């Protein structure tokens, strides 16, 4: 039985908490409402007074974003690139220049494309990325161009949300097959395999498994288009849990052009651990086809990184289990240096020196059992990405066009996927050698013995990791294009060396943005899978930004007293204080107190410097922490501010926002991913919950205390993780005691960030999953700032006051700088704006 069915049964049995039951009642956006929102967005675009206002893209391009598909024309100098959340780009000069061709349609998140083999003017684009990651945006159907991408027409499947694959008949472009994954965070019936025989005018669903299982891959036999293979994938994501496998995942085969399907069961796993599947035919021998499986069954082998760690561990080092049954006298007799090493290695809170631990043991404030249980059942979220004990990637081969299968991979390729195979799934066979096989995962691997053994193939000009797409020239298998989380790469040597085509597409995916006060000022940002970077505000996109650190780059805070000390880090709260001048780097993540529940860190952990004293730093787990000395030591200033009622394999019940009032020192606001909002007006001595009257259980995506009036605060809430694409933006004038919606005339789109203008309190800037909005009357009427900034997701914004600039961090089109003078001028005639 599927997990979601178990959850529903649990509700009936009274086994779920009230908040979980409430969460189940959050309804996903319907197809009718989605269509209405798209139409309203288009109407606002048509009438916006800001449509022609300029915004300057400042890159970066040297660190790019996720490339999910590549389609190449018969003229090999012409090809199309699909960015995960940055639209579609076209080159006609073999990658020397690229032009965006899909801006301002209903969605910029792309799942897949297809270029007609018989007519290269026909290009299909399926919206809604098919990688089921945290920043995978829902789409709005499939589109068709008949003029090489100059214009597009929406061809239906509006509520399919995430397109897995599109294939076009090799000789009849009116026949098209589309695989829909359906919604990501809810069940729906708009998933399965669709076929059209009239160029998209009408559709027939020819393969449907269930409302939790979609189609992630389709391949057409190279010489017989009546034979097709399709991969179904059962997956269900929630804010607190992700199920990436199930019995619905399978390989399906058709011999009548996709009208009917039969499951391939001979030799291929059929159990509940079957995850994402990708496959590819060998053009040189079309009876041969390879499949790449994400096998989520438990492995009996210890994770590689853990083995290495054990080998390097000091045999004399203290371990948590050493404190099991340890007496007080034995603990007090421990060597101070040995105990100190144990405390620092395991990231105990900074207050715990060896001397302090012994003092608290002696006074009875803590016990050896509490030391043993310091981390409780808490899982290191970063380690879990890599060390989950699953089998992972496996390669299967068929020699009868997919009727029967046998596992062929013999070498250990678990590290290709680590434990998140849902993010990958592509396999490619050389167009000239049936035994040369590439598998795309964290590294890029190649086998030249039919899939038995794999080695890396990226030693020279090594491309970025996390590989998503590959095209191999049908006439020259040494000519390869590769797309990954770092952009687009090209090889003319079969993958032995790579060129990075990184100067033309600003498609970086920013989670956060910040500026300093240097001359010219620098822009900082954390990017999806690309670390933390900074660059000059005066640069053009092709000017390289500089790297501060790796990982998935997250929040940045800059000490603007000297513009040299930067606080930042990567996913799940691993944050550092960095001195740009000396290169000194100190980890500052606070540890929890012995005897309290371990910290739970959000993927995008909130961190902020005080407006009133930049030695003061705030961070949020489920607790709010305050440091008075630049993160060297910390004090917990709140209890658990989340509901803490859900658990799963994704860290949840965490703080998503911590914001300080710029007017009142000691006034702080905190918001959680499970819907709580709190305020303290005495520096954390007491907290008051203030979300009464707001939609409940939604992700608190931003809180913005006013810089003009004490007690005025703005919030945005986000129902994206229920597939609820509704605009939720509110204002309070009394510290959150009461709230008023300022949605005004906005279409329904997930809301990510709201900030207040620094000159005019009536001007507010709102970033949604589909672009930037500006109001000049406090939220009664909103104008769409779309044109020079496309309808891209916007996660974060900041104003550089000295230069009068709005700096916009997008999740798919890098960073834009907007001159605010024209907006201020436009707002002047309406004196009501100043009220």
Residue, of 25 and 355, whose pLDDT is higher: 355
pLDDT at 14 over 80: no
Q: Is 376 exposed, middle or buried (0-12, 13-18, 19+ CB in 10 A)?
A: exposed
Over residues 594-622, mean pLDDT: 97
Chain CA centroid to CA 629, Å: 32
Q: Are 380 and 320 in contact (CB under 8 A)?
A: no
Which residues contact residue 784 at a Cβ distance below 8 angstroms, ignoring those fewer than 6 apart? 41, 44, 45, 48, 50, 51, 771, 772, 773
Phi and psi at residue 487, in whole multiples of 5°?
Answer: 120, -145
Q: What is the pLDDT of residues 299-339, one digit of tens each?
A: 877 655 444 444 445 778 999 999 999 999 999 999 999 99
Q: To 5 degrees, how large is the angle CA 775–CA 780–CA 786?
A: 35
Over residues 378-386, mean pLDDT: 63
Q: How far apart are CA 485 and CA 67, in angstroms?
A: 6
Q: What confidence category does residue 9 fall into, taking pLDDT thresholds of 50, 70 and 90?
A: very low
Give the neighbor-by-neighbor strand order of the sheet with 815-819. 56-59, 815-819, 805-810, 794-800
- State residue 203's pLDDT score: 98
Q: Give the H or E element holding residue 21.
A: helix 18-24
Say yes or no: do domains 105-263 and 510-834 share a fold: yes
- State residue 383's pLDDT score: 64
Q: Are 752 and 769 in contact (CB under 8 A)?
A: yes
Number of alpha carbons in the 13 Å side-chain half-sphere of residue 635:
9
Would you give the DSSP letter of residue 642?
S
Q: How far apart are CA 396 and CA 404, in angstroms?
A: 10
Q: What is the pLDDT of residues 641-672, one digit of tens each?
A: 999 998 899 999 999 999 999 999 999 999 99
Q: What is the pLDDT of residues 759-783, one digit of tens each?
A: 999 999 999 999 999 999 999 999 9
- State residue 504's pLDDT score: 85
- State residue 460's pLDDT score: 67
Q: How far apart are CA 331 and CA 807, in angstroms?
A: 54
Over residues 270-281, mean pLDDT: 97
pLDDT at 20 over 80: no
Which residues contact residue 211 at a Cβ distance below 8 angstroms, ignoring those fewer than 6 apart? 182, 187, 188, 189, 191
Over residues 80-103, mean pLDDT: 97
- State residue 412's pLDDT score: 86
Residues composing the chain: 835
Q: How far apart are CA 577 and CA 186, in angstroms?
A: 39
- State residue 385's pLDDT score: 59
Instruction: Give the architecture-level CATH label for domain 105-263.
Output: 7 Propeller (2.130)
Q: What is the pLDDT of residues 792-815, one digit of tens each?
A: 999 999 999 999 999 999 999 999
Q: How far apart are CA 183 and CA 787, in angstroms?
A: 29
Over residues 413-442, mean pLDDT: 94
Q: Is 584 exposed, middle or buried (0-12, 13-18, 19+ CB in 10 A)?
A: exposed
Token pair of 564 as six digits = 């040299």
- State residue 503's pLDDT score: 77
Token pair of 231 as six digits = 């991969």
- State residue 539's pLDDT score: 92
Find out whether the peptide bond into 60 is cis, omega within 30 degrees of 0. yes
The mean pLDDT value of the chain amounts to: 92
Q: Are 818 and 794 in contact (CB under 8 A)?
A: no
Q: What is the pLDDT of residues 183-210, one digit of tens each?
A: 999 999 999 999 999 999 999 999 999 9
Domain spans, the chain? 105-263, 304-383, 510-834
- State residue 684's pLDDT score: 98
Q: Are 622 and 599 in contact (CB under 8 A)?
A: yes
Q: What is the pLDDT of residues 527-585, one digit of tens each?
A: 998 999 999 999 999 899 999 999 899 999 999 999 999 999 999 999 999 999 999 99
Lowest-pLDDT choice from 312-316, 397-401, 494-498, 805-809: 312-316
- State residue 761's pLDDT score: 97
Q: What confidence category does residue 419 fall into, taking pLDDT thresholds of 50, 70 and 90?
A: confident
Q: Are 9 and 21 in contact (CB under 8 A)?
A: no
- State residue 462's pLDDT score: 82
- 510-834: CATH topology: Methylamine Dehydrogenase; Chain H (2.130.10)
Residue 577 bridge partners (DSSP): 567, 586
- State residue 17's pLDDT score: 35
Q: How far apart are CA 701 and CA 721, in angstroms?
A: 12
Residue 290 bridge partners (DSSP): 280, 397
């Amino acid at each position: 039985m599927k997990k979601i069915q178990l959850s529903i049964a649990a509700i009936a049995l009274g086994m779920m908490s009230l908040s979980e039951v409430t969460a189940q009642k959050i309804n996903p956006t319907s197809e009718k409402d989605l269509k209405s929102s798209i139409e309203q967005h288009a109407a606002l675009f048509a009438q916006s007074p800001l449509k022609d206002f300029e915004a300057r893209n400042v890159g970066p391009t040297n660190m790019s974003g996720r490339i999910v598909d590549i389609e190449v024309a018969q003229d090999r100098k012409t090809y199309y690139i699909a960015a995960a959340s940055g639209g579609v780009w076209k080159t006609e000069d073999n990658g020397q220049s690229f032009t965006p061709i899909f801006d301002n349609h209903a969605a910029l998140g792309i799942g897949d494309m297809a270029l007609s083999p018989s007519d290269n003017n026909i290009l299909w684009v399926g919206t809604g990325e098919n990688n089921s990651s945290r920043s995978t945006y829902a789409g709005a159907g499939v589109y068709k161009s008949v003029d090489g991408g100059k214009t597009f027409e929406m061809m239906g499947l509006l509520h399919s949300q995430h397109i897995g694959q599109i294939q076009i008949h090799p000789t009849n472009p009116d026949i098209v097959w589309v695989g829909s994954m359906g919604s990501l965070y809810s069940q729906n019936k708009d998933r399965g395999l669709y076929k059209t025989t009239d160029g998209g005018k009408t559709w027939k669903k020819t393969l449907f498994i269930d409302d939790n299982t979609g189609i992630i891959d389709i391949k057409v036999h190279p010489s017989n288009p009546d034979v097709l293979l399709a991969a179904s994938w059962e997956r269900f994501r929630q804010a607190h849990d992700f199920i990436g496998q199930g019995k619905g995942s399978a390989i399906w085969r058709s011999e009548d052009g996709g009208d009917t399907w039969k499951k391939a069961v001979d030799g291929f796993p059929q159990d509940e651990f079957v995850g994402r599947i990708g496959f590819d035919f060998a053009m040189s021998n079309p009876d041969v086809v390879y499949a790449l499986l994400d096998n989520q069954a438990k492995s009996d082998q210890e994770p590689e990184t853990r083995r290495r760690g054990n080998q390097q561990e000091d045999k004399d080092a203290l371990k948590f289990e050493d404190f099991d049954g340890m007496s007080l006298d034995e603990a007090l007799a421990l060597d101070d240096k040995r105990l100190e090493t144990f405390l620092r290695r395991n990231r105990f809170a900074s207050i715990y020196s060896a001397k302090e631990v012994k003092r608290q043991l002696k006074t009875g404030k803590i016990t050896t059992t509490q030391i043993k249980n310091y981390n409780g059942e808490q899982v290191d979220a970063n380690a879990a990405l890599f060390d989950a004990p699953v089998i992972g990637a496996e390669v299967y081969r068929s020699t009868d066009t997919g009727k029967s299968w046998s596992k062929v991979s013999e070498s250990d390729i678990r590290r290709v996927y680590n434990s998140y195979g849902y993010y990958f799934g592509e396999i490619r066979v050389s167009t000239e050698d049936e035994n040369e096989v590439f598998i795309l995962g964290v590294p890029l691997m190649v086998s030249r013995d039919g899939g038995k053994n794999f080695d890396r193939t990226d030693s020279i000009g090594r491309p970025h990791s996390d590989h998503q797409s590959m095209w191999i020239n049908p006439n020259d298998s040494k000519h390869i294009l590769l797309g990954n989380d770092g952009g687009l790469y090209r090889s003319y040597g079969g993958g032995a060396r790579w060129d990075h085509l990184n100067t033309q597409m600003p498609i970086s995916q920013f989670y956060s943005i910040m500026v300093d006060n240097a001359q010219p000022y620098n822009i900082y940002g954390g990017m999806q899978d690309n670390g933390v970077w900074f660059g000059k505000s005066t640069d053009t996109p092709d000017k390289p930004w500089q790297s501060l650190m790796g990982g998935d780059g997250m929040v940045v805070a800059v000490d603007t007293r000297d513009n040299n000390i930067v606080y930042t880090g990567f996913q799940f709260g691993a944050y550092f204080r960095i001195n740009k001048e000396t290169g000194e780097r100190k980890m500052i993540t606070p540890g929890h107190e012995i005897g309290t529940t371990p910290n739970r860190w959000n993927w995008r952990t909130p961190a902020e410097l005080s407006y009133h004293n930049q030695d003061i730093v705030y961070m949020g787990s489920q607790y709010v922490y305050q440091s008075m000395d630049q993160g060297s030591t910390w004090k917990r200033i709140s209890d658990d501010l989340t509901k803490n009622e859900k658990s799963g394999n994704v860290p949840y019940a965490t703080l998503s926002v911590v914001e300080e009032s710029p007017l009142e020192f000691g006034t702080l606001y905190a918001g959680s991913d499970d819907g709580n909002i709190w305020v303290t007006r005495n520096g954390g001595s007491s907290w008051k919950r203030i979300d009464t009257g707001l939609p409940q259980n939604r992700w608190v995506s931003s809180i913005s205390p006013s810089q003009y009036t004490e007690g005025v605060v703005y919030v945005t809430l986000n129902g994206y993780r229920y597939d609820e694409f509704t605009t939720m933006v509110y204002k309070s004038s009394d510290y959150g005691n009461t709230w008023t919606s300022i949605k005004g005339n906005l279409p329904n789109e997930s809301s990510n960030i709201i900030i207040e203008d620094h000159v005019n309190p009536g001007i507010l800037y709102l970033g949604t999953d589909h672009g930037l909005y500006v109001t000049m009357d406090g939220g009664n009427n909103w104008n769409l700032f779309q044109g020079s900034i496309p309808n891209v997701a916007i996660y974060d914004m900041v104003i550089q006051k000295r230069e009068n600039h709005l700096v916009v961090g997008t999740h798919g089109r890098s960073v834009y700088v907007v001159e605010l003078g024209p907006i201020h001028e436009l707002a002047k005639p309406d004196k009501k704006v100043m009220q």
